[in-house]
Amino acid sequence: MCGIVGYIGHRDAYPIIIKGLQRLEYRGYDSAGVAIYDGDSINLSKTKGKVEDLKKKSEATMSLDGKLGLGHTRWATHGVPNDANSHPHYSNSGDLVIIHNGIIENYDAIKKELINRGYVFHSDTDTEVLVNLIEEVKKKENVKLGKAVQIALNQVVGAYAIAVFDVNKPDEIVVAKLGSPLAIGIGEDEFFIASDASPFIEFTNNAMYLDDEELAIIRLGKEIKLRKIKDDSVVYPSIQELQLNIEEIEKGGYDHFMMKEIYEQPRAILDTYRGRLLADQGIIKMAGIDENIEKFTNANRIIIVACGTSWHAGLVAEYIFEDLARIPVEVEYASEFRYRNPVITDKDVLIAISQSGETADTLAAIKLAKEKGAFVFGVCNVVGSTISRETHAGAYTHAGPEIGVASTKAFTTQITVLTLIALKLAKEKGVFSQTQYHEYLTELENIPSKVEKSLLSNVLIETIAEVYKDSTNCLYLGRGYNFPVALEGALKLKEISYIHAEGYPAAEMKHGPIALIDEQMPVFVIATKKGHYEKVVSNIQEIKSRKGKIIAIVTEGDVAVKELADHVIEIPETFESLTPLLSTIPLQLLSYHIALMRGCNVDQPRNLAKSVTVE
């Protein structure tokens, strides 16, 4: 996610802002910028790269004096990482300066309207559109900045945390929030603005957090004016005295990035389908698919290449694409695919899945497929990453930076994107009626709240982890859509707790693994109601009769498995094809707690890197 920092007060703004941006580096970003008002004009510097690069550039090219300023670290969503797309952004007049964290979904339509009114744009960002919309409203309605922001934000759809100031009113900053975090630090004759408290906690621990759809007018020497964006009604600020330290703030109050990212999944899934899934209109909008739809509908097959967790997401996609869209799919480990001299034709579509967008084997597989004429589509989480630039088209997950080495929100957001594509193709190919399609879109919109509900088992899961934390081997079993989840659960456990774990299709028990079953062998079975539930129940009986320990993930309200298993973790019911988005949650939590109890470094497990950029 982007990081925003602002300052207005009696100190020099520049050092506070730069240090504040450094505090926010943990959020992940690809460019940075700063704008300082020096009492006469605005001095602005921004660059692709790191805060260190910004420091060098701004200290070599601009005056750093001034008591009012804004700073930003950008995690690209619209427009690749480059200097022009970095924030802050000016309005056309040069009077307004804005920084923004979030996504304006309807920026395209607004941009067209503003161009018709003579506005020119210097970047590909939604943010530059927003600041010019505010300027247009301010001029047309002849209102102050605060009112113009309030009116403008009622015309946008999306998520934002913004800070904007007017060079003609340099004792004021206006901020607003919907969906992205925004904190205001309140000092003696000074105010701080930031994505979280880490940039200002050393100056003040008095803070207030804007709620969604709130706007604040921050003016030196005055009380903060808080308003509802919808109707400009007054809101009374509640100021907190923060007790958090820097590290706790960076992890959002969680002990580890991995736990923070597990709990971010409802928001990450929502952000990933935001602007794409329009259930009320019964449509899915995905430019990368819309512009290439024939490539998919006329393809002989879809080849999916990936590594690790992304490969597991690809396996889920195989079930979804074949089940729903009736398109043949093959899932390949990129590291095998690139060397086995595969048969690839120009009637193939290759989908490359990668959180980092930098995995060497996946990149090599893409290059091989392109050489052989296949159409290559990327599913990445990092805008402007190598894989996203090497593919013919793609769709980003909007999970935000994933810091923990063990992939969690990347997995569920990859499945979200792949599900959107499969549903879109199923409709395009006429496999789905409009009613069926609408039912799927509506259920997909229910998933974030069902993930929230699945997370409620965390305390129960921690007690189960206590029982099995000293195991030396574990088995994970699942059928159908839950088979890839069994593999993913096993990977999560082994990569952060160093316990050997294997995932298997439940029916494979009799072909070998059942020889492993005894009272020392914990078996995690995904036995949700949909699919071949009865067959999984009989697999559980086979394990029980051999004294295996059974930890089952079941659909809430399940009775049959409850009578057989040693432990049961319930998740909400959903469509069979959407079950992986929920059944994976308990397994993420389980691996986290077991690893912690074993004293492992959950965020940076031994021998592992977040992105495997070499063979």
406 binds ligand AGP (CB under 6 A): yes
Which of 157, 224, 364, 612 touches ligand AGP by CB under 6 A? Answer: 612
The SS3 of residue 279 is: helix
Cβ closest to ligand AGP, residue 123 vs residue 611: 611
58 binds ligand AGP (CB under 6 A): no
DSSP-derived pairing of the beta strands 3-8 and 68-74: antiparallel
In the chain, how many H helices and how many E strands?
21, 27
Cβ closest to ligand AGP, residue 362 vs residue 457: 362
307 binds ligand AGP (CB under 6 A): yes
Whether 610 is catalytic: yes
Which of 407, 457, 539, 583 touches ligand AGP by CB under 6 A? Answer: 407
Span 491-510, contacts to ligand AGP by CB under 6 A? 495
| Residue listed under structure tokens 């505010």 | 134
The amino acid that residue 354 corresponds to is S
Stretch binding ligand AGP (CB under 6 A), from 85-93, 265-273, 366-374, 403-411? 403-411
Q: How many residues does the chain have?
A: 615
- In the DSSP assignment, the letter for residue 379 is E
Shortest distance (Å) from residue 594 CB to ligand AGP: 15
CA distance 374 to 370: 5
The one catalytic residue among 169, 225, 535, 610? 610
Residue 138 φ then ψ, to 5°:
-60, -40
- In the DSSP assignment, the letter for residue 210 is P
Joined together, the tokens standing for residue 160 give: 């934002």
Shortest distance (Å) from residue 108 CB to ligand AGP: 29
Cβ closest to ligand AGP, residue 308 vs residue 484: 308
Site mask, ligand AGP, residues 3-42, x = CB under 6 A? Answer: ----------------------------------------
The contacts found for 507-514 with CB under 8 angstroms, 24 or more apart, are 507/479, 507/535, 507/539, 509/477, 509/539, 509/542, 509/543, 510/542, 513/475, 514/542, 514/543, 514/546
CA distance 176 to 441: 30
Cβ closest to ligand AGP, residue 204 vs residue 604: 604
Instruction: Tell me the β-bridge partners of 179.
Output: 160
Stretch binding ligand AGP (CB under 6 A), from 130-138, 316-324, 405-413, 556-564? 405-413
User: Residue 6 CA to chain centroid, in angstroms?
Assistant: 24
Cβ closest to ligand AGP, residue 359 vs residue 579: 359
Joined together, the tokens standing for residue 426 give: 């199923």
The one catalytic residue among 2, 307, 474, 600? 2
Cβ closest to ligand AGP, residue 126 vs residue 603: 603
Which of 9, 71, 266, 308 touches ligand AGP by CB under 6 A? Answer: 308
Whether 474 is catalytic: no
Which of 91, 265, 272, 359 touches ligand AGP by CB under 6 A? Answer: 359
- In the DSSP assignment, the letter for residue 88 is P
Cβ closest to ligand AGP, residue 281 vs residue 613: 613
**333 with 341: CB under 8 angstroms?**
no
Stretch binding ligand AGP (CB under 6 A), from 39-47, 280-288, 351-359, 522-530? 351-359
Number of residues that bind ligand AGP (CB under 6 A): 15
* Residue at shortest CB range from ligand AGP: 308
The SS3 of residue 62 is: coil
CA distance 38 to 68: 8
- First-to-last C-alpha distance (Å) of the chain: 29
- In the DSSP assignment, the letter for residue 131 is H
**450 with 466: CB under 8 angstroms?**
no
- Residues assigned a catalytic role: 2, 610
Q: Which residues bind to ligand AGP, rule: CB under 6 A?
A: 307-310, 354-356, 359, 362, 405-407, 495, 611-612
